[in-house]
Amino acid sequence: GENVEQHPSTLSVQEGDSAVIKCTYSDSASNYFPWYKQELGKRPQLIIDIRSNVGEKKDQRIAVTLNKTAKHFSLHITETQPEDSAVYFCAASIPGRRALTFGSGTRLQVQP
Amino acid sequence: EAGVVQSPRYKIIEKKQPVAFWCNPISGHNTLYWYRQNLGQGPELLIRYENEEAVDDSQLPKDRFSAERLKGVDSTLKIQPAELGDSAVYLCASSLDSGADQPQHFGDGTRLSIL
């Protein structure tokens, strides 16, 4: 089955700096890669997603890049703010199962 | 648009007791998922429904877990009997359909603690 690895597990940045979280996946047939933000005790919230026919997608301060050849994708957050502090999860679709395999999460802390 | 609604938010029970969780998906969403999230980890799929049919329950521990979605809308997930290792957050999600690139929207989850 699909395996998704995510790193780093924790990331601390100063307010205004950029943050990058990276994920790799194992099944080359995976074609959908969402990113979720989860604040403590709250639901995972979809913040951005990318499909395999696109190499990059941007939404304001958030961008995701996909390298299908290397089977990795990354989340980029620019001009970080304290409210960006949360746990971020990457995920990949499971071909044939139409469900998501999640990474283990990255705890991002933005220091004011 | 109302999001995915789950209840209860918290549940504390003793081991060997039964417990049930309820989920109301986003209106019009045909596909419903139950995930389990252990502390410090990402969600893991337990079961997926297409309307009222369970089409993927390969990760559901069927000796003690059961689920139903009788009218293709609300769903319940049951554990009987509960074990200490079942302590986790149980998340429900829904999507418009089961396309592999359909966004999944999550509820707030039910945090289960087994004493």
Tens of pLDDT, residues A46-85: 999 999 888 999 999 999 999 999 999 999 999 999 999 9
Average pLDDT of chain A? 94
Nearest CA in chain B to A29: B100
| Chain B environment of A42 (Cβ under 8 Å) | 108
Q: Is the pLDDT of residue B107 over 90?
A: yes
| Chain A environment of B99 (Cβ under 8 Å) | 98
How many CB atoms neighbour CB B54 within 10 A? 17
| Chain A environment of B48 (Cβ under 8 Å) | 97-99
Can you read off the two tokens belonging to residue A74? 């990354």
Please give the pLDDT value at position B5.
97
Please give the pLDDT value at position A2.
85
pLDDT band of B100, cuts 50, 70, 90:
low
Instruction: Count Cβ atoms within 10 A of the Cβ of residue B46 and give its class: 0-12 exposed, 13-18 middle, 19 or more buried.
Output: buried
Nearest CA in chain A to B102: A32
3-state SS, residue A83: helix
Please give the pLDDT value at position B1.
63
Selected for mutation to probe chain A from B4, B50, B96, B104 (highest A CB count within 10 Å) is B104
Cross-strand bridge partners of residue A20: A76
The whole-angstrom separation of Cα B83 and Cα B80 is: 9
Can you read off the two tokens belonging to residue A36? 């979720």
- Our CA-based measurement puts residue A110 at a distance from the nearest CA of chain B, in whole angstroms, of 19
Please give the pLDDT value at position B2.
78
Would an 8 Å CB–CB cutoff place B4 in contact with chain A?
yes
Average pLDDT over residues A2-23: 97
The whole-angstrom separation of Cα A109 and Cα B94 is: 29
Would an 8 Å CB–CB cutoff place B98 in contact with chain A?
yes
Average pLDDT of chain B? 93
Phi, psi of A83 (to 5 degrees): -70, -5
Would an 8 Å CB–CB cutoff place B45 in contact with chain A?
yes
pLDDT tens digits, residue range B22-69? 999 999 999 999 999 999 899 999 999 999 999 889 899 999 999 999
Can you read off the two tokens belonging to residue B23? 């989920």
| Chain A environment of B56 (Cβ under 8 Å) | 97-99
The whole-angstrom separation of Cα B79 and Cα A70 is: 41
3-state SS, residue A84: helix
Please give the pLDDT value at position A82.
96
Closest by CA to B35, choosing from B87, B106, B98, B101, is B106
- % of chain A residues with pLDDT over 70: 99
Cross-strand bridge partners of residue A81: none
Asked if B45's CB is within 8 angstroms of A91's CB, the reply is no
